[in-house]
Amino acid sequence: MANEPANPTASTIGPVILLGPPGAGKGTQARKIVEHYGIPQISTGDLLRDNVARGTELGLEAKAIMARGELVPDELMYGIVACRLREFDCQRGFVLDGFPRTAAQAGWLDAFLEKEVFEKSDKPGNPADVAAEKCPPVVIQLLVDYNQLLLRLTGRRSCPTCGRLYNIHLQPPLVDELCDLDGSKLTIRDDDRREVIAGRLEAYETQTRPVADYYRVQRRLVAVNADRPIEDVTAQIFGIIDRHTIDRHTQDRHTQDRQIQDEQKQDSIPRMDASKL
């Protein structure tokens, strides 16, 4: 496409937020965005496990809470997410998977991004670099039919040896319940069992759907039909991100042009000669 960025791994993409119920394909699409644009995927689940494994102060606190069967509170998650987003590899952008899960978390993320931009704008440097940092999130909601979700979730299987993923309904192995590569018996995740799925979907409806409403009110939500083949969904997501990037760069240029014009106007204003007073 004529307006498509020449090098997607060189331009600043900004934050990308994927929303959708369990089984909508957020993880799959996040990995494709990472490969195409060269930005990291930030998964709150991975962050929690990493902090617990490394024995960080936040990780130890989260481990104690999860051991009691309780949800990790927002304030603790904010600290973990903030530390990760400040790392160098997030400067061009990042994909958020599993965050924000509530409208309150979405509000915190907006405030965090605004604060980070404000602090960077106070530092000396190229104004163009500061403008490039001002990247509002592109928020993409993956929509999937409820019955299709059930097929995706109840049919998911994985090989405990090589990690290959299958779906007994949509992408079955050659031999029932056995891995095509090494013949290992496939396993099912505990949270993909039918008795658990209903609770996961209900939790999404009551807790996470308001996040979509939060961004919809701000006219920042873009819905994508994720019932289609993976490649088609990926192509549409790339198009959304590319348009978002181009529109933002165009807006940045216009802002810089106005600033230059304002400075030129100030320079052209006649200054009174103090010696004649």
Sheet holding 41-43, edge to edge: 41-43, 93-97, 14-19, 138-143, 221-225
pLDDT band at 207 (very low <50, low <70, confident <90, very high): confident
Residue 167 lies in a domain: yes
How many H-runs (helices) and E-runs (strands) does the chain carry? 10, 7
Residue 59 lies in a domain: no
Burial label, 266 (beta-carbon count in 10 A; 0-12, 13-18, 19+):
exposed
Residue scoring higher pLDDT (196 or 129): 196
- Residue 63 inside a domain? The answer is no
The model's pLDDT over 8-40, given as tens digits with 9 standing for 90+, comes to 666 788 999 999 988 899 989 999 999 999 999
Q: What angle do CA 77, 199, 233 make, to 5 degrees?
A: 75
Most confident of 36-45, 131-140, 240-249: 36-45
- Which domain covers residue 237, as residue numbers? 14-39+92-261
Which pLDDT belongs to residue 127?
41
| pLDDT the model gives residue 180 | 96
CB 81 within 8 A of CB 51: no
If you average pLDDT over every residue of the chain, what do you get? 82
CB 220 within 8 A of CB 136: yes
Q: Indicate whether 51 belongs to any domain.
A: no
| Domain contains 269 | no
How many domains are contained in the chain? 1
Longest Cα separation, the chain: 97
Q: Determine the Cα–Cα distance for residues 207 and 107; give it in Å rounded to an integer.
A: 14
- Please give the sequence-ordered ranges of beta strands (E in DSSP) within 61-174, or none if there are none: 93-97, 138-143, 156-158, 165-167
State the pLDDT at residue 263: 53
Does 55 reside within a domain? no
193 in a structural domain: yes
**Tokens, residue 120:** 């960077």
Using pLDDT thresholds of 50, 70 and 90, give the confidence band for residue 245: confident
**Per-residue model confidence (pLDDT) at position 117:** 62
- CATH of residue 105's domain is 3.40.50.300
Helix (H) or strand (E) holding 16: strand 14-19
Q: Does a structural domain hold residue 50?
A: no
Average pLDDT over residues 73-84: 92
d(CA 226, CA 145): 9
* 26, 96 contact by CB (below 8 A): no
The letter for the amino acid at 135 is C
Share of the chain above pLDDT 90, in %: 50
**Number of residues in the chain:** 277
Ranking 59-73, 76-90, 116-130, 179-193 by mean pLDDT, the lowest is 116-130
Residue 271 pLDDT: 54
Q: How many CB atoms lie within 10 A of CB 36?
A: 16
Per-residue confidence band for 262, with pLDDT thresholds at 50, 70 and 90: low
Active site residues: 26, 101, 156, 189, 200
Angle at 95 between CA 94 and CA 100, to 5 degrees: 115
Report residue 233: phi and psi, to 5°. -65, -40
Read off the pLDDT band of 274 (50, 70, 90): very low
Q: Report the pLDDT value the prediction gives residue 203, as an integer from 0 to 100.
A: 82
Chain center to CA of 101: 11
